[in-house]
Each structure stands twice: as structure tokens, then as C-alpha cells.
Amino acid sequence: MAKDLYDSSSEAKTLLDSANDILGFKITDIMFEGTADELKQTKVTQPAIFLHSVVLAKISDSFSPDMVAGHSLGEFSALVATETLAFEDGLKLVSQRAQAMQKACEINPSTMAAILGLDDNVVEDICANINEVVVAANYNCPGQLVISGSHKGIELACEAAKEAGARRALPLPVGGAFHSPLMEPARAELEQAIDATVFNQGICPVYQNVSAKAETDIELIKANLKTQLTAPVRWTQSVQAMVADGATTFIESGPGKVLQGLVKKIHREAEVSSI
């Protein structure tokens, strides 16, 4: 991960080397040469994705957004890209977030599942009628909604979704019920870290997961960021709001092309590409 950037850009090298000092271990060794299992370590995965995304944006000559958004973890990358958060502060928060989420997973063993082929309101009704913790967590695109909750809740919801005509109800290989009430211990821990961090006026609006609206007010951005771990990722609604506000071209900064695919499913006329 990001080895090509490290080798070809002095700015990327400086940022990635500084990440080792900020985190207190050589994350670059794992990113460049680590195994899949090493990359999946809680302390590594989220910071590594964050670093790849931010470094791409930082070294791109063409990066001059009118608006930004990030999916879950990506919201932190977006806030650094808009200079709302300093690189060091963003990385520290991402590291603290990852560790807080891991602790919450250990307190409340739980999971997630992808429901494909049902309208959002149908999935919401299914979750509401199950006597377990299970909620809509990621509104990824029309017909693709990820649910989050207890193991029993996810099992019952998947059964109900199939009975309701879902094309697929697929349990996901994740360690916890992210973006659900079961992440409350992590939310409380991250809230303290956010309160201790300096936020600046950004260069453009950020469309946040919680509100799915353009945000520029620093206190509101902080409040939404605190709520993010226990609230759903409203990606579909965020992209729709960006389109309504004039967005025609979406450029993804980070590993992979998942968000480009989601954007096209939300708005077929959108132009999508990578940095």
C-alpha cells in the first residue's frame, strides 16, 4: 500500500515517515511489505487506509475540490483534505477511533450484513420489528443497505429480508456492529479525543455521514463526527445532496474504486475517476 507514492514523491515520503513517529510503530513496513493478516490488525487497517487516501490528495496537483465527502472512516480523510483537520491530528483521531472500536467489539460481540435488492424503507421496517439490536447502518446506494447489530439480530433480519424478497442477505466478515448503538463505548471515548483536537475552517464544505448535508460550521462538524460511530452512514443521501448542489464529477482518493461504483449507482450521469 502506497509504496509507489513513497518512492516517487518526496512529500509522500515525508508524510508517511512522519506517520511512523505519530503512531509509535512503523506502519510503513506493514503497508509496504506486510501480509494480509498484518494489514487487518485493528491498529493498522484504518490508519493505513487513511494515510493512502490523504497522501494521494496531498500530492495531487489537480486536487481542488468544490465539496468533499467520505464514507465512514473516509470522513476523517475528507476533513484533512479540506484542512479542517491537520494531518497529524487526523491520524491521531483515526488511530484512537480504531482502538476504541476494537474495545467496543470486545464488550459487545456483534456483526453486520449486506441486504441487496430491497427498498431502504423495507429494510428499516424489518429492523424495527425485530426484538434485538439491529439497525440500518450504511445506506450505500439504492438497493444496497448494510445492517448492523447483535449476532441474533442480524440472523433474524437476514431471514426476514430473504422472506421479503431480498436478492441477497449476506453476513459480512467484520468484527463488530459498526454505526449502531452497540458502538456507544467507542463513541464516548472518541468524543473526548475530538474535544481535545483543534478544528479549523475548511477550504470547502464537507457532506457528513450523519447529516448528509453540506457542513462548514466547525462546531456542527465536530458534533456530527462525535455521533458518527453510532449513527448510519447516509452515503446515498450525501451523494444525492451533492448532485442537487451542483456536483457532476466525483474523484475518489484512496485505495480501490468502491465509491466510484456506488456513486454511479446513485446518479448514473455522474462522471467518476480516481486521483
Q: Which residues form the catalytic set? A: 72, 179
Q: According to DSSP H, which parts of the chain are helical?
A: 3-8, 10-23, 27-33, 36-39, 42-59, 74-81, 87-107, 120-128, 151-163, 184-195, 218-227, 235-244, 258-266
In this structure, are residues 157 and 130 in contact, taking their beta carbons and an 8 Å threshold?
yes
CA neighbor of 21 nearest in space, from 101, 82, 87: 87
The position carrying cell 423495507 is: 122
Using a 10 angstrom Cβ sphere, with 0-12 exposed, 13-18 middle and 19 or more buried, the burial of residue 163 is: exposed
